């Protein structure tokens, strides 16, 4: 073989090797949309980034702080995230295009990955406020979460079912959990409504600073909401300091949602590695211990991503 042919062959082989290596090392960006840092979505999102960065080759995973459910879904539709946590009613409103909930058009790109754990609507008042029941919220100062967030949509639904509206309150703030708690500590608010997993850090923090009252949401109020996503449940005694009895409330499931632009392979890996490393999620927050494979598809409000479906077929959850 002539010298120039050998050189040409070597260059060609080198180019193939370089191209192959570049493709093998091509980084995938995986942005997980969560919520405020004082809620439950954020630590679970961080735990997922740890799992994905370790288990999925060439993935760079990040957890983004957001205003939670509604914003997460809009960001997914716009392709500005690959995975998000969101409340079931928000997902349904987004996919069908409920303008009153802040979704002017149906977000048709949304796809399901897995069910997770329940949020509990937790209405917490300071003992000094005199609030003991939903009716006592009239004339009081309350924070209901960021505007158009999943928490705020929950607040509207519960108040309406209880015959209340924001106009009945003397002041309504639209603040994240942590900021709401700080205002309560400073006696600038009487109550906060937080839709989150049990034992959420913000309420635990509040309960160690002031004497709190956990306000019950009766089953008949929950029934009047008229949504299957809202189920009667309770906050167990001693979830928070000073809470000595079970308190009735509404539970709403959370889902991990992606979008149709995410590849089947990445969606498969996100689903599989999460369940293969579920202990990492359990260690991130007590609420995550409710995430069970057998419940992954229960009540899924949007079409399942084909990549996730592949995993569930492998484990026998889908036929």
Lowest-pLDDT range, 25-29, 72-76, 149-153? 25-29
Cβ–Cβ < 8 Å for 45, 85: yes
Lowest-pLDDT range, 4-8, 201-205, 222-226, 309-313? 4-8
| pLDDT value at residue 148 | 84
Query: What is the per-residue pLDDT across 173-220, written as a single tens digit (0 to 9) for each?
Result: 999 999 999 999 999 999 999 999 999 999 999 999 999 999 999 999
Name the DSSP class of 128.
G
Round to whole Å and give the CA distance between 77 and 159: 29
Query: What is the per-residue pLDDT across 255-286, written as a single tens digit (0 to 9) for each?
Result: 999 999 999 999 999 999 999 999 999 999 99
Please state, in angstroms and as integers, the Cα–Cα distance from residue 218 to each residue in 188, 223, 225, 243, 316, following that order: 27, 9, 11, 17, 38
Round to whole Å and give the CA distance between 198 and 235: 7
Cα distance from N-terminal residue to C-terminal residue, the chain: 58
DSSP state string for 6-43: HHHHHHHHHHHHHHHHHHHTPPEEEEEE---TTSSHHH
Query: What is the per-residue pLDDT across 219-255, written as a single tens digit (0 to 9) for each?
Result: 999 999 999 999 999 999 999 999 999 999 999 999 9
Residue 25's pLDDT band (cuts 50, 70, 90): low
Given the DSSP bridges, would you call strands 212-215 and 110-126 parallel, antiparallel or unpaired? antiparallel
Please state, in angstroms and as integers, the Cα–Cα distance from residue 250 to each residue in 136, 153, 189, 245, following that order: 18, 13, 23, 16
Domains and CATH numbers, the chain: 9-117+254-314 (3.40.190.10), 119-252 (3.40.190.10)
Round to whole Å and give the CA distance between 117 and 44: 11
pTM value > 0.85: yes
Round to whole Å and give the CA distance between 91 and 68: 12
* Dihedral over Cα of 198, 203, 209, 210: its sign: negative
* Dihedral over Cα of 273, 278, 281, 287: its sign: positive
Residue 22's pLDDT band (cuts 50, 70, 90): very low
317: how many CB neighbours lie within 10 A of its CB? Answer: 14
9 contacts: CB under 8 Å, gap ≥ 6: 1
| pLDDT value at residue 2 | 52
């Amino acid at each position: 073989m002539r010298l120039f042919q050998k050189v040409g062959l070597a260059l060609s082989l080198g180019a193939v090797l370089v191209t192959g290596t570049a493709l093998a090392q091509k980084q995938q960006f995986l942005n997980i949309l969560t919520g405020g840092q004082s809620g439950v979505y954020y630590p679970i999102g961080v735990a997922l980034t740890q799992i994905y960065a370790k288990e999925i080759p060439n993935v760079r995973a990040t957890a983004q702080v957001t205003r939670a459910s509604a914003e997460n879904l809009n960001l997914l539709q716009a392709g500005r995230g690959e995975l998000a946590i969101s409340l079931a009613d928000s997902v349904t409103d987004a996919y069908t295009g409920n303008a009153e909930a802040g979704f002017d058009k149906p977000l048709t790109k949304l796809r399901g990955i897995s069910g997770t754990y329940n949020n509990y609507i937790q209405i917490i008042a300071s003992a000094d406020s005199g609030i003991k029941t939903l009716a006592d919220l009239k004339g009081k100062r309350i924070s209901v979460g960021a505007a158009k967030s999943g928490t705020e949509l929950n607040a509207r639904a519960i108040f309406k079912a209880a015959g209340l509206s924001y106009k009945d309150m003397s002041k309504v703030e639209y603040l994240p959990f942590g900021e709401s708690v700080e205002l309560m500590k400073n006696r600038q608010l009487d109550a906060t409504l937080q839709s989150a997993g049990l034992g959420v850090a913000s309420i635990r923090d509040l309960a160690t600073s002031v004497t709190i009252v956990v306000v019950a949401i009766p089953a008949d109020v929950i029934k009047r909401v008229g949504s299957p996503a809202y189920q009667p449940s309770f906050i167990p005694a001693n979830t928070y300091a000073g809470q000595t009895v079970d308190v009735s409330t509404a539970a709403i499931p959370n889902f991990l949602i992606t979008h149709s632009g995410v590849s089947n392979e990445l969606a498969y890996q996100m689903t599989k590695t999460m369940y293969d490393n579920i202990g990492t999620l359990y260690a991130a927050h007590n609420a995550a211990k409710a995430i069970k494979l057998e419940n992954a598809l229960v009540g899924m409000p949007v079409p399942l991503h084909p990549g996730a479906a592949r995993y569930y077929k492998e484990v026998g959850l889908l036929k």
